[in-house]
Amino acid sequence: MPARCRRSMPDVREDAVGRASFLYTYGLNSTRRARNRTNHGRRNTNMRIVIALADNALRKRGGQTGASADGHAVRAAAARLAGVVEGNDVVLVHENERGADGSAWSGLSDRTGEAGTHDGVPTPLHADDVHRFDLELRNCLTSARACATLLPMVEVDAADPAFDRPDQPIGAFIVGERAVAAARAKRWDIAKDSIGYRRVVPNLRPVRLPQSEALRRLIDERTVVICAGGVVPVVARADGAWHGVDAVVDPYSAAELIAEAIDADLFVIVTDMAGVFLDWGTANSKLLRHGHPDALREFADTAGAMGPKLRAASHFAERTGRRAAIGALADVERLVAGTAGTTISCERVDPRRFAGGSIAC
């Protein structure tokens, strides 16, 4: 177990006077602990939180699609997040999965999806997402907080073995013989499943955040930072110059890297699930309220879509000795307080609580 994880284990005890509980130690009192802790050179002492929003937290599975539905979803999300943003220093990281919804695609453009039309002005889809999220959040805030949007770059290792085995599907399905031939002419790697062909690219591990200093300065000034539209993987040339690569980076690993870079007190992953469930899909399904990274690690590889979230949250808890949480957008304020969802921290729990369990997908 990492040293930081060991040092962070709380002194939880009961006596005749009162009860020291996990809820107090890691939940409702977390803001006070953040203020009282050594400040590490910070210019303010507000609680720093990174919130990673899974795309399905905004766009419900099987729900309505289109510009109107997206606008309503973003507006509702901004209203829920505003309460957390008002009293804390927050970085919002929005996982963008546009074009990965499996809808038929016969065009040959390199751009994924169609142009956005928010406010009647055609814009690229990612720019439309960023603009919409920024606008709705500003409208929900009651305080005069500055907001800044950022398309984050993450450095990846040019020697990452994932470059040799592209396996991450992106974009919609490629249909029609001409479309398949054109995709191959572009030297895209494509893979076929039971429905059709899709482009596949390497899924790389993020190594470093080149914009970390800029992020820290924005947070020091209490700017609300919105990292939306995904992340851009880059590699460094021998001369120190950066260039982009045709690949993707797991958005939760990237969000965790951002949380470490800004010295976050709390890392929250918001999805469409109430948290991590044991025995998911059975009559014995039960929400896991707390997990230690060591105990959760064994489940991550078989947890489906919850796996990357578990790995990122556990990595943050291990690396920093601080708290991470996974849960639903509707519960975001309670996730911050530690009274809802699944908390991942280095507090020791009885491993028998995990016996025979499976993780929600």
Query: What pLDDT score was predicted for residue 129?
Result: 61
Q: How confident is the model at residue 33 (pLDDT cuts 50, 70, 90)?
A: very low
Q: Which residues does 74 contact at the CB level (< 8 Å), separation at least 6? A: 58, 129, 132, 133, 136
- Going 112 to 113 to 114 to 115, the CA torsion angle's sign is negative
Q: DSSP secondary-structure letter at 353?
A: G
Residue 35, domain member (yes or no): no
Tokens of 78: 């901004």
Task: Give the residue, 57 or 52, on which the prediction is more confident.
Answer: 52
State the average pLDDT over residues 272-299: 84
Which of these ranges, 95-109, 171-185, 345-359, has the smallest mean pLDDT?
95-109
Rounded to two decimals, the pTM is 0.77
Mean pLDDT, the chain, as a whole number? Answer: 75
Q: What CATH code is carried by the domain that includes residue 58? A: 3.40.1160.10
Reduced to 3 states, what is the DSSP secondary structure of residue 3? helix
Residue 139, domain member (yes or no): yes
Residue 171, domain member (yes or no): no
Residue 188, domain member (yes or no): no
Query: What pLDDT score was predicted for residue 257?
Result: 94
C-alpha distance from residue 52 to each of 278, 280, 312, 336 (Å) = 22, 23, 10, 13
Total domains, the chain: 1
Q: Is the pLDDT of residue 327 over 50?
A: yes
Could you tell me the residue range of the domain that residue 336 belongs to?
Answer: 50-102+127-157+208-344
Q: Which pLDDT tens digit goes with each residue over 170-200?
A: 888 888 887 888 888 888 888 887 788 888 9
Q: Which pLDDT tens digit goes with each residue over 286-300?
A: 888 888 888 887 777
Q: Which pLDDT tens digit goes with each residue over 301-323?
A: 777 788 889 999 999 999 999 99
Q: How confident is the model at residue 45 (pLDDT cuts 50, 70, 90)?
A: low
Residue 166, domain member (yes or no): no
Residue 170, domain member (yes or no): no
